[in-house]
Amino acid sequence: MNNSWKRIGTTALAALAAVGMLASCGGGGDSAGGDSDTLTIFNSKSEIQSQFEEMAEKYTEETGVKTEVYYSSDTISAHLSTRYASHNPYVLSMVDAKDIYSLGPDHALDLSGEDWVSDTTQAISVDGKVLGFPVSIEARGLMYNADAIEAITGEEFNPEDYQTLDAFEDLIDELKAGGMETPTGVLKEDWSLAGHYLPQVYEEREDPTAFLEDLHNGDVDLNSDAKFTSLMDTFDVLMENNYAKDSAISAEREVTSQNFAEGKIAFLFGGNWDWAVINQYDYTDGLGIMPVPQNTDDGSNTKLVGGGSKYFFIDSSSDVTDEQRQMAKDFLNWLVTDPEGQDFIVNTCSMVSPFASNTLEPSDPLGASVKQYSDAGNLIGNFNGLPDDHYSVLGADFQKYLAGQSSREEFAAAIESYWAGADMSNVESLANDTSSSSSTTDDAAANDAATDDGATE
């Protein structure tokens, strides 16, 4: 009697355990995408996650659409791949531009018929279909702290006076003479060096794709390339006057940003995304972004480099229902046209809206600079077709250069040998699809071949 009770008890417990485990496995599967009445949004910008969550709550209250926002610090494509593998994709996913090209054809819904398409120049189309909804505009350039500069020079700082490296160097000398011994900072992160600075060499010319194909075929001698020379000459000046010159590759982004925010240094190469770091410190008001000074006359030293950054796409698979897709479309329209949606992008998230109808003025000074250049058509488009290992591989080589462990010739040789063996599929996918090049690239970089006066040192 006693024995059989024990046996029944054990069996029951074991069964319970097994069922419990299976249930939890199954339960995990449809917690997000499975609820056909929920709009699931994947956010890949960590700095606006809490804003997104608050917005989702309000959005649900006002429209009755159940909205859930998710975030992952993982690599975007790695994170999304796990969701696809479990047939549980997000309805709406925020990704980088390059992900639209790689994921879009398989996973993204054609949005060509949406109203907002005509309202922006930054939407991404692949094979003639609009797949990517631009979330914001981000642009790169040389960030300046006008307050710090004016405190020394005693006169108003006007970035347009310092478009050439020669003028910029004179200013640096003046700052040094005035007591700011090291007026610049350099972020040593590989994404900044080889993801943001180096690509300017490709982007600031008429046809980046053709140039990269030449580079791939070994037809380019970077050392005699005018654009490479002028950009590296400027980089040398930034490097030479770096506040952390002796420990350039262990300087932390936070410390550098803090020094910049507080005006201990006056110049730092970056973009308006740096605001998320800078605004944590005791910043002065006169911050802004100017084009990277270069001794060139191709016009690239009057423009910032950038464009759409972070794109939404709507999942097209059978794991998501048509109702969910409609919710996602409505949400995107809300972001573009509804005053609250516009306010959310510009004021709540401190982003620069890529939509012409959104006329709100950016609340942060860096964003305001970008908006100004963007409105005037002075943005050189991002090149979104770099191989996925570009920034990590060449980032390491660029760091060597930054640390003074390799010469410019060696760095150029490293770039050439990287491209010789590079996987060109991303570059080619962009080359095949002319409609995808963002509209701002066309008028950029007119004649970089003509200038060889870049080398002044």
Partner 1 sequence: MPKTKLSYKVGQFLMFAGPAALLFALVVIVPFFYGLYLTFTSWDGVSLQKPFVGLSNYSAVVADTDFWGSLGITVIYSVITVVVTNVVAFLLAFLVTSGIKGQNIFRAGFFIPNLIGGIVLGYVWKFIFNRAFVSIASGITGATVPSLLSTTNGAIFCLIFVSVWQYAGYMMLIYIAGFMSVDASLKEAALIDGCSPRQAMWHVTIPLMRSSFVTCIFLSTTRCFMVYDINLSLTNGEPFGSSVLAAMHVYRKAFTEKNYGVGQAEALVLFIICAVIGLLQVYIGKKGEVEA
Contact stretch for partner 1 (CB under 8 A) within 267-275, 329-337, 353-361, 393-401: 393-401
DSSP for residue 56? H
- Taking the complex as a whole, how short is the minimal distance between the CB of residue 304 and partner 1, in angstroms? 27
Contact stretch for partner 1 (CB under 8 A) within 99-107, 223-231, 289-297, 353-361: 99-107
Tell me if 11 contacts partner 1 by CB under 8 A.
Answer: yes
Tell me if 252 contacts partner 1 by CB under 8 A.
Answer: yes
Size of the site for partner 1 (CB under 8 A): 35
Cβ proximity to partner 1, 299 vs 385, nearer residue? 385
* 408-420 and 208-216 helices, crossing angle to 10°: 90
Which residue type does 108 have? A
Maximum separation of any 2 CA atoms in the chain, in Å? 100
Contact stretch for partner 1 (CB under 8 A) within 29-37, 174-182, 339-347, 386-394: 386-394
437-441 contacts: CB < 8 A, separation 24 or more?
A: 437/381, 438/121, 438/122, 438/307, 438/308, 438/381, 438/382, 439/121, 439/381, 440/121, 440/307, 440/377, 440/379, 440/380, 440/381, 441/203, 441/208, 441/380, 441/381
Residues 6+ apart with CB under 8 A from 358: 336, 342, 345, 346
Question: How many whole angstroms separate alpha carbon 128 and alpha carbon 434?
Answer: 9
139 neighbors 379 (Cβ within 8 angstroms): yes
Backbone CA torsion sign across 429, 433, 435, 438: positive
Cβ proximity to partner 1, 17 vs 446, nearer residue? 17
One residue of 35, 47, 60, 84 binding partner 1 per CB under 8 A: 84
Tell me if 322 contacts partner 1 by CB under 8 A.
Answer: no
Tell me if 240 contacts partner 1 by CB under 8 A.
Answer: no
Q: Which of 185, 141, 140, 146 is nearest to 285 (CA)?
A: 146
Tell me if 334 contacts partner 1 by CB under 8 A.
Answer: no
Tell me if 388 contacts partner 1 by CB under 8 A.
Answer: yes
Tell me if 405 contacts partner 1 by CB under 8 A.
Answer: yes
Tell me if 396 contacts partner 1 by CB under 8 A.
Answer: yes
| Backbone torsions φ then ψ of 347, nearest 5 degrees | -90, -45
Q: Which of 37, 31, 27, 42 is nearest to 80 (CA)?
A: 42
Tell me if 24 contacts partner 1 by CB under 8 A.
Answer: no
Q: Which of 5, 314, 265, 4 is nearest to 142 (CA)?
A: 265
- Taking the complex as a whole, how short is the minimal distance between the CB of residue 384 and partner 1, in angstroms? 14
Tell me if 12 contacts partner 1 by CB under 8 A.
Answer: no
Tell me if 25 contacts partner 1 by CB under 8 A.
Answer: yes
Tell me if 389 contacts partner 1 by CB under 8 A.
Answer: yes
Tell me if 397 contacts partner 1 by CB under 8 A.
Answer: yes
Tell me if 210 contacts partner 1 by CB under 8 A.
Answer: no
Residues 6+ apart with CB under 8 A from 266: 144, 145, 148, 149, 175, 180, 183, 184, 260
Cβ proximity to partner 1, 5 vs 154, nearer residue? 5
Cβ proximity to partner 1, 392 vs 432, nearer residue? 392
- Taking the complex as a whole, how short is the minimal distance between the CB of residue 18 and partner 1, in angstroms? 5
Cβ proximity to partner 1, 243 vs 260, nearer residue? 243
Tell me if 417 contacts partner 1 by CB under 8 A.
Answer: no
Structure tokens belonging to residue 70: 């998710």
Cβ proximity to partner 1, 247 vs 447, nearer residue? 247
248 neighbors 401 (Cβ within 8 angstroms): no
Residues interacting with partner 1, by CB under 8 A? 10-11, 14, 17-18, 21, 25, 75, 77-78, 80-81, 84, 102-103, 106-107, 190, 246-247, 249-250, 252, 387-389, 392-393, 395-397, 399-400, 403, 405
